[in-house]
């Protein structure tokens, strides 16, 4: 299929000359996302700047039956923003104004193309704090984060995107512009449609504006590094700390393979022999931070950490967190193909999950490196393979299959924060009952009767 | 040790997108093929022949300022700017240069004496040149139709080589600390000769015998960046041969120092010239880097507020950020105010500023906003390209500021009385608007 010149003309009229890309080179640049696997060429890329323009684009697409794939920065890790059926990529990056920071009521209203890092920088100036922190925050847009219901290290104490969404403006595939929710934390007014759109991966509506709940910036922070010679021991230490009633702001886990890669390309002084490192951030009022820091160090030692200490200074703390952020890059940079999985289990089952992953790696003779948000039970076991080596790839895929089964058996989920997209489509049936999937399909139909929005995602092909 | 970057390095990019929010071009137009991540993917696919390498592809390669900021935030240390240059080089070797590029790169920039003669002829046209402090009227502004409105500086009269002896001794009473070769670069030779003169004199006042080798040619960076590696190598060899015999080489031009330090990467691995280039690199210093390293204490100045703009070629290409600030801080009388985003590109990027004028102006506007907020009277920088763009911006936005090279604030301790800093050849800055915006 290719868009007719009439359709392109209409798109150009809506978004202007500079808001439409059609050359092969430009389209190729919108055919991928943050994964190494998925590709799909769009036929046009549009950059609307208002909800009205989005409405006109969607109305046209519905009328002509053209697929529309919403996209922010395209840093997602599930194939979710890849236009697998061609059509239009609707890029939200030019809707990038922060509309209002309400310091009295702790809310921010912003357009969805704002990059999370830019929002945070602005909020910090007002001494405000928006905790959800997907580690792609340097690139990820608010719209992408809301659509994927993204989260990050702070989830253990502060939750994920959906916990902060108060209201939004969204455009239906029919072109109707909806105002959903409001600006208050408490709001029970019919079905909570903004919560439904959060995490819907761009399949129901195009979100153009959101109102988010904020917190005051914690006055003090401390980083603790704990080194373990067994990953399972680290998992147990995490559980013990939470069980003792301490909720650190972050508890992150990095395995030996990643530690070594990070030290190879940008040495930060991480201990090379460690099987696992846990990184904690403790925040709050200074007295509480001091006390909890001490407790965390003691508990890690009691659970068998070979070393546990507070960061010497802010610079060292920053180094540790930079190393953690570099984790995925280290993985992608060192294997032809990497599948960064995203399973989650209840935190108390984490040691079991870690144990199972190690056994799966042995069983299929593949390298699985692990990092993750140990505090909330969200683990990223990354299976390294080479898509050009069919035999190896098959083993890797079986290993992934087993990891999903393990997570589900332990009472967990197949995706914690990356979404289903294309990557986990085949596994949806394992995670949801046919009845539940049928309700999802009904909801999809109610929002998008012609099925133009982000087609080919979440649902397994019939 | 230098490592030659090739287009193959593009495959090291794992598409995290961290470069996006730091890219001056992408944050203006948000087009994926204009940011390191998108370009790296395209360059990789072009190498695998999975996308057409037509004119559009070549054009996309031009949408990079080569500021190098993306490399600083890249968690995998992907040398994206160098990869873009490598891709341009491949492009040029396949498709060739256009006639204008051939004329400028191979005909003029490479032939310094020819360039001098041509520019000297041009300088005789009334209005095209300035004498210090006495601006002539504005025929040269008509040149700006070729630069899409960018006001380019007028030619200096006389040129730097006619102002400076080939050897300058430190003033009497100053302890002689050694000898430096002075590499002025084309901009300070022909367009900002007064600044070039000041730079050389400041080095002399700091206690160095300053040698200005007359037969130097253009550093070649503009040519290299455009992808004409062969011509750039000829220029590099010429300069390497002349400069090798000195222990210190100092330049006031951020672009030139980044080129001179980078020459090793312009030659294939193992090439004899690569070794020579690396030897030279260790002797090259930027003006502020050199003086800071030597612990030079400048003479006090009259009270004035100053802010500093980091040239990309200094901060991102050479990691020099503290030295110029330290130097400014050490001058009694200067009240230094750091601007927000001091290390964000000015938006010129050589030919980029003319080829992609609208993007360049949008980047310039952000810079002007930051400068305005400081309330500083003087913006200091260390790169003639930045000076051009900042002066153009100040004029465009009606900012009552003076844009100066760092050397213009620096006097040796020997001078009895410190004169107020002069703006030099900054005629294009024209009379300052009376009303503050």
- CATH of residue B192's domain is 1.20.1050
Statement to judge: residues B53 and B110 lie in one domain: no
Q: Cβ of A25 and B15 within 8 Å?
A: no
pLDDT surpasses 50 at B1: no
Q: Is the peptide bond before A438 cis (omega within 30 degrees of 0)?
A: no
Q: Which of residues 53-92 of B touch A (CB under 8 A)?
A: 54, 56-57, 60, 73, 75-77
pLDDT surpasses 80 at A266: no
Is A113 inside a domain boundary? yes
Give me the mean pLDDT over the A112-116 stretch: 98
Model pTM score: 0.91
Residue A23 has what pLDDT? 95
Total domain count for chain B?
Answer: 3
Statement to judge: residues A195 and A159 lie in one domain: yes
Rounded distance between C-alpha atoms, residue A383 and residue A114, angstroms: 32
Statement to judge: residues B315 and B394 lie in one domain: yes
Q: Give all strands (DSSP E) within A331-377, no chain letters.
A: 337-340, 343-344, 367-373
Distance from the A141 Cα atom to the nearest Cα atom in chain B, whole angstroms: 10
Find the CATH number of the domain harbouring A406: 3.30.70.2740
Give me the mean pLDDT over the B376-382 stretch: 97
Of B258, B290, B322, the position where a domain reaches its end is: B290
Q: With contacts defined as CB-CB under 8 Å, which chain B residues touch A91? A: 30
Name which of B8, B10, B12, B17 to mutate to probe chain A: the one with the most chain A Cβ atoms within 10 A of its Cβ: B17
What is the domain range of residue A387? 335-430
Distance from the B99 Cα atom to the nearest Cα atom in chain A, whole angstroms: 25
Statement to judge: residues B154 and B224 lie in one domain: yes
Q: With contacts defined as CB-CB under 8 Å, which chain B residues touch A144? A: none
Q: Mean pLDDT: which of B72-76, B134-138, B340-344 is highest? A: B340-344
Q: How confident is the model at residue B146 (pLDDT cuts 50, 70, 90)?
A: low
pLDDT surpasses 60 at A227: yes
Is A181 inside a domain boundary? yes
Residue A348 has what pLDDT? 86
Name which of B32, B71, B78, B344 to mutate to probe chain A: the one with the most chain A Cβ atoms within 10 A of its Cβ: B32
Distance from the B18 Cα atom to the nearest Cα atom in chain A, whole angstroms: 5
Of B236, B271, B290, the position where a domain reaches its end is: B290
Statement to judge: residues B286 and B320 lie in one domain: no
Give Cβ neighbours of residue A394 (< 8 Å, ≥ 6 apart).
none
pLDDT surpasses 70 at B426: no
Is A5 inside a domain boundary? no
Statement to judge: residues A318 and A283 lie in one domain: yes
Rounded distance between C-alpha atoms, residue B147 and residue B79, angstroms: 30
Statement to judge: residues A391 and A344 lie in one domain: yes
Residue B132 has what pLDDT? 46
Q: How confident is the model at residue A133 (pLDDT cuts 50, 70, 90)?
A: very high
Give the residue on B whose Cα is nearest the Cα of A115: B21
Is A378 inside a domain boundary? yes
Helix, coil or strand: residue B422: coil
- Residue B51, chain A, CB below 8 Å: the answer is yes
Is B226 inside a domain boundary? yes
Rounded distance between C-alpha atoms, residue A388 and residue A392, angstroms: 9
Statement to judge: residues A211 and A224 lie in one domain: no
Q: Cβ of A265 and B77 within 8 Å?
A: yes
What does DSSP assign to residue B344? S
Q: How confident is the model at residue A397 (pLDDT cuts 50, 70, 90)?
A: very high
Q: Which of A21, A74, A138 sits opposite B73 (nearest CB)?
A: A138
Find the CATH number of the domain harbouring B75: 1.10.1060.10
Q: How confident is the model at residue A173 (pLDDT cuts 50, 70, 90)?
A: very high
Statement to judge: residues B262 and B373 lie in one domain: no
Q: Which of B21, B30, B41 sits opposite A32 (nearest CB)?
A: B41
Statement to judge: residues B36 and B118 lie in one domain: no
Residue A155 has what pLDDT? 95
Statement to judge: residues A189 and A224 lie in one domain: no
Of A169, A188, A216, the position where a domain reaches its end is: A216
Q: Which of A47, A74, A96 sits opposite B17 (nearest CB)?
A: A74
Of B95, B119, B142, the position where a domain reaches its end is: B95
Residue B145 has what pLDDT? 56
Is the complex ipTM higher than 0.90?
Answer: yes
Q: How confident is the model at residue B149 (pLDDT cuts 50, 70, 90)?
A: confident
Is A139 inside a domain boundary? yes
Give Cβ neighbours of residue B79 (< 8 Å, ≥ 6 apart).
B5, B9, B71
Q: Which of A25, A140, A333 sits opposite B42 (nearest CB)?
A: A25
pLDDT surpasses 50 at B198: yes
Find the CATH number of the domain harbouring A253: 3.30.70.3450
Statement to judge: residues B91 and B196 lie in one domain: no
Q: Which residue has the higher pLDDT, B413 or A357?
A: A357
Is B360 inside a domain boundary? yes
| Weakest-pLDDT range from B211-220, B261-270, B297-306, B414-423 | B414-423
Share above pLDDT 90 across residues of chain A, in percent, rounded to a whole number: 78
Give me the mean pLDDT over the B22-31 stretch: 97
Q: Which of A29, A91, A136 sits opposite B33 (nearest CB)?
A: A29
Q: Which of A25, A29, A139 sits opposite B21 (nearest CB)?
A: A139
Name which of A40, A46, A113, A329 to mutate to probe chain B: the one with the most chain B Cβ atoms within 10 A of its Cβ: A329
Name the phi and psi angles at A406, rounded to 5: -60, -45
Find the CATH number of the domain harbouring A179: 3.30.465.10
What is the domain range of residue B53? 7-95
Share above pLDDT 70 across residues of chain B, in percent, rounded to a whole number: 88
Residue A427 has what pLDDT? 87
Name the phi and psi angles at B187, rounded to 5: -65, -45
Q: With contacts defined as CB-CB under 8 Å, which chain A residues touch B54? A: 24-25
Decide: B133 and B421 in contact? Cβ < 8 Å.
Answer: no
Torsion sign across C-alpha atoms A333, A335, A340, A346: negative
Give me the mean pLDDT over the A138-147 stretch: 97
Give me the mean pLDDT over the A83-105 stretch: 97
Give me the mean pLDDT over the A403-432 stretch: 91
Helix, coil or strand: residue A128: strand
| Weakest-pLDDT range from B3-17, B331-345, B379-393 | B3-17
- Residue B3, chain A, CB below 8 Å: the answer is no
Is B246 inside a domain boundary? yes
| Weakest-pLDDT range from A218-222, B81-85, B244-248, B430-434 | B430-434
Statement to judge: residues A281 and A229 lie in one domain: yes
Q: With contacts defined as CB-CB under 8 Å, which chain B residues touch A140? A: 17
Q: With contacts defined as CB-CB under 8 Å, which chain B residues touch A322? A: 75
Give me the mean pLDDT over the B115-142 stretch: 58
Candidates A51, A48, A47, A50; CA nearest to A178 is A51
Q: How many CB atoms neighbour CB A368 within 10 A?
A: 22
- Residue B362, chain A, CB below 8 Å: the answer is no
Statement to judge: residues A277 and A295 lie in one domain: yes
Statement to judge: residues B81 and B156 lie in one domain: no
Statement to judge: residues A203 and A227 lie in one domain: no
Q: Cβ of B16 and A75 within 8 Å?
A: yes
| Weakest-pLDDT range from B92-106, B118-132, B267-281 | B118-132
Buried b (16+ CB within 10 A) or exposed e, B369-402: ebbbebebebbbbbbbbbbbbbbbbbbebebebb
Decide: A317 and A289 in contact? Cβ < 8 Å.
Answer: no
pLDDT surpasses 70 at B207: yes
Statement to judge: residues A160 and A240 lie in one domain: no
| Weakest-pLDDT range from A76-85, B108-117, B305-314 | B108-117
Distance from the B27 Cα atom to the nearest Cα atom in chain A, whole angstroms: 9
Of A313, A328, A343, the position where a domain reaches its end is: A328
Q: How many CB atoms neighbour CB B258 within 10 A?
A: 25
Find the CATH number of the domain harbouring B320: 3.40.50
Give the residue on B whose Cα is nearest the Cα of A35: B15
Distance from the B105 Cα atom to the nearest Cα atom in chain A, whole angstroms: 28
Q: With contacts defined as CB-CB under 8 Å, which chain B residues touch A47? A: 30
Statement to judge: residues A283 and A340 lie in one domain: no
Is A65 inside a domain boundary? no
Distance from the A104 Cα atom to the nearest Cα atom in chain B, whole angstroms: 27
Is A284 inside a domain boundary? yes
Residue B136 has what pLDDT? 36
Size of interface A-B (CB pairs under 8 A): 96
Q: How confident is the model at residue B433 (pLDDT cuts 50, 70, 90)?
A: very low
Statement to judge: residues B353 and B413 lie in one domain: yes
Is B1 inside a domain boundary? no
* pLDDT tens-digit series, residues A254-264: 988 888 888 88
Give me the mean pLDDT over the A282-292 stretch: 97
Statement to judge: residues B78 and B136 lie in one domain: no
Rounded distance between C-alpha atoms, residue B211 and residue B51, angstroms: 52
Is B55 inside a domain boundary? yes
Is A381 inside a domain boundary? yes
pLDDT surpasses 60 at B265: yes
Is B194 inside a domain boundary? yes
Q: Which of A23, A93, A138 sits opposite B18 (nearest CB)?
A: A138
Q: With contacts defined as CB-CB under 8 Å, which chain B residues touch A96? A: 30
Name which of B12, B14, B57, B64 to mutate to probe chain A: the one with the most chain A Cβ atoms within 10 A of its Cβ: B14
Mean pLDDT across chain A, nearest whole number?
93
Q: Which of A25, A33, A35 sits opposite B33 (nearest CB)?
A: A25
Total domain count for chain A?
Answer: 3
Residue A327 has what pLDDT? 78
Statement to judge: residues B115 and B147 lie in one domain: yes
Mean pLDDT across chain B, nearest whole number?
87
Q: Cβ of A115 and B21 within 8 Å?
A: yes
Decide: A208 and A51 in contact? Cβ < 8 Å.
Answer: yes
Q: How confident is the model at residue A460 (pLDDT cuts 50, 70, 90)?
A: low
Give the residue on A whose Cα is nearest the Cα of B54: A25
Is B434 inside a domain boundary? no
Q: Which of A21, A73, A325 sits opposite B20 (nearest CB)?
A: A73
Residues belonging to chain A with any Cβ–Cβ distance to chain B shorter than 8 Å: 18, 21, 23-26, 28-30, 32-36, 47, 73-75, 91, 93-94, 96, 113, 115, 117-118, 136, 138-140, 265-266, 322, 325-326, 328-330, 332-333
Give Cβ neighbours of residue B225 (< 8 Å, ≥ 6 apart).
B66, B85, B88, B350, B351
Statement to judge: residues A212 and A225 lie in one domain: no
Residue B131 has what pLDDT? 52
Q: With contacts defined as CB-CB under 8 Å, which chain B residues touch A37? A: none
Statement to judge: residues A279 and A199 lie in one domain: no
Residue B429 has what pLDDT? 39
Of A216, A240, A271, the position where a domain reaches its end is: A216
* pLDDT tens-digit series, residues A44-65: 999 999 999 999 999 999 999 9
Q: Cβ of B75 and A30 within 8 Å?
A: no
Give the residue on A whose Cα is nearest the Cα of B36: A29
| Residue A438 burial by Cβ neighbours in a 10 Å radius (0-12, 13-18, 19+) | exposed
Residue A66 has what pLDDT? 97
Is B369 inside a domain boundary? yes
Give me the mean pLDDT over the A313-322 stretch: 90
Q: Which of residues 10-39 of B touch A (CB under 8 A)?
A: 12, 14-18, 20-22, 29-33, 38
Statement to judge: residues B159 and B244 lie in one domain: yes
pLDDT surpasses 70 at B436: no
Q: With contacts defined as CB-CB under 8 Å, which chain B residues touch A332? A: 14-16, 76
The conformational region for residue A297 under phi > 0 = left, psi -120 to 50 = alpha, else beta, is alpha
Q: Cβ of B16 and A115 within 8 Å?
A: no
């Amino acid at each position: 299929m290719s868009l007719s010149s009439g359709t392109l003309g209409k798109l150009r009229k809506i978004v202007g000359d500079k808001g439409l890309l059609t050359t092969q080179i430009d389209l190729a640049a919108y055919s991928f996302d943050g994964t190494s696997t998925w590709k799909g060429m769009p036929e046009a890329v549009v950059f609307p700047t208002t909800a009205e323009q989005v409405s006109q684009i969607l109305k046209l697409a519905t009328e002509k039956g053209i697929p529309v794939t919403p996209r922010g920065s395209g840093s997602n890790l599930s194939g979710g923003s890849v236009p697998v059926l061609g059509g239009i990529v609707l890029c939200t990056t030019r809707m990038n104004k922060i509309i209002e920071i309400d310091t009295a009521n702790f809310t921010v209203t912003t357009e969805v193309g704002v990059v999370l890092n830019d929002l945070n920088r602005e909020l910090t100036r007002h001494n405000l704090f928006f905790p959800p922190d997907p580690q792609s925050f340097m690139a990820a847009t608010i719209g992408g984060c809301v659509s994927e219901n993204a989260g990050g290290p702070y989830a253990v104490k502060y939750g994920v995107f959906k916990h902060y969404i108060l209201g939004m403006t969204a455009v239906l595939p029919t072109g109707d512009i909806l105002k959903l929710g409001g600006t208050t934390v408490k709001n029970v007014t019919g079905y909570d449609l903004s919560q439904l759109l959060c995490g819907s991966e761009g399949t129901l509506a195009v979100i153009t504006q959101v109102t988010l709940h904020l917190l005051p910036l914690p006055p003090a922070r401390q980083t603790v590094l704990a080194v373990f010679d067994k990953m399972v021991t680290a998992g147990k230490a995490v559980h013990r700390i939470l069980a003792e009633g301490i909720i650190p702001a972050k508890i992150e886990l990095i395995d030996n393979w990643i530690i070594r890669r990070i030290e190879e390309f940008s040495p930060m002084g991480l201990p090379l022999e460690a099987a696992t490192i846990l990184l904690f951030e403790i925040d709050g009022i200074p007295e509480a931070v001091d006390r909890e820091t001490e407790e965390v160090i003691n508990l890690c030692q009691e659970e068998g950490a070979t070393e546990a200490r507070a960061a010497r200074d802010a610079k060292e703390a920053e180094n540790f967190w930079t190393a953690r952020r570099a984790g995925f890059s280290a993985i992608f940079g060192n294997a032809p193909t990497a599948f960064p999985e995203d399973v989650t289990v209840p935190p108390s089952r984490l040691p079991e999950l870690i144990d199972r992953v190690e056994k799966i790696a042995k069983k299929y003779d593949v390298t699985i490196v692990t990092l993750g948000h140990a505090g909330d039970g969200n683990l990223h076991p990354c299976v390294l393979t080479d898509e050009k080596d069919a035999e190896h790839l098959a083993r890797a895929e079986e290993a992934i299959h087993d990891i999903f089964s393990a997570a589900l058996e332990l009472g967990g989920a197949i995706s914690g924060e990356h979404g289903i997209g294309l990557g986990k489509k085949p596994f949806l049936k394992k995670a949801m009952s046919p009845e539940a999937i049928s309700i999802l399909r009904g909801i999809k139909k109610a929002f998008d009767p012609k099925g133009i929005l982000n087609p080919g995602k979440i649902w397994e092909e019939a | 040790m230098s490592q030659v970057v090739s287009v193959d390095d593009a495959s090291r990019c794992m598409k995290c997108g961290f470069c996006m929010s730091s890219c001056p071009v992408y944050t203006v137009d948000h087009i994926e093929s204009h940011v390191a991540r998108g370009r790296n993917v395209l360059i990789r696919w072009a190498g695998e022949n999975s996308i057409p390498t037509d004119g559009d592809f070549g054009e996309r390669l031009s949408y990079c300022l080569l500021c190098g900021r993306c490399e600083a935030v890249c968690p995998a240390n992907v040398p994206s700017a160098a990869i873009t240059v490598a891709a341009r080089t491949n492009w040029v070797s396949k498709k060739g240069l256009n006639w204008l590029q051939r004329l400028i790169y191979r005909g003029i920039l490479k032939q310094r004496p020819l360039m001098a003669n041509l520019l000297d002829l041009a300088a005789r046209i009334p209005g095209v040149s300035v004498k210090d402090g006495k601006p002539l009227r504005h025929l040269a502004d008509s040149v700006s139709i070729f630069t899409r409105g960018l006001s380019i500086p007028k030619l200096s009269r006389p040129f730097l080589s006619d102002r400076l002896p080939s050897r300058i001794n430190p003033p009497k009473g100053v302890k002689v600390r050694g000898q430096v070769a002075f590499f002025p670069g084309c901009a300070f030779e022909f367009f900002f000769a007064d600044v070039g003169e000041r730079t050389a004199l400041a080095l002399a006042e700091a206690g160095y015998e300053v040698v200005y080798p007359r037969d130097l040619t253009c550093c070649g960076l503009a040519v290299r960046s455009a992808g004409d590696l062969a011509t750039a190598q000829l220029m590099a060899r010429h300069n390497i041969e002349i400069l090798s015999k000195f222990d210190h080489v100092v330049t006031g031009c951020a672009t030139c120092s980044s080129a001179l330090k980078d020459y090793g990467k312009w030659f294939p691995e193992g090439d004899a010239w690569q070794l020579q280039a690396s030897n030279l690199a260790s002797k090259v210093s930027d003006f502020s880097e050199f003086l800071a390293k030597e612990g030079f204490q400048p003479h006090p100045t009259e009270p004035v507020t100053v802010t500093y703009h980091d040239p990309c070629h200094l901060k991102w290409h050479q990691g020099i950020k503290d030295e110029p600030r330290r130097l400014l801080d050490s001058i009694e009388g200067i009240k230094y105010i750091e601007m927000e985003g001091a290390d964000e590109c000015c938006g010129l990027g050589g030919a980029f500023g003319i080829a992609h004028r609208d993007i360049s102006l949008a980047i310039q506007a952000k810079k002007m906003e930051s400068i305005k907020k400081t309330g500083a009277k003087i913006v200091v920088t260390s790169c003639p390209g930045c000076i051009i763009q900042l002066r153009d911006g100040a004029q465009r936005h009606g900012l009552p500021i003076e844009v100066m090279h760092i050397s213009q604030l620096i006097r040796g301790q020997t001078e009895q009385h410190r004169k107020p800093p002069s703006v030099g050849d900054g005629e294009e800055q024209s009379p300052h608007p009376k009303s503050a915006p």
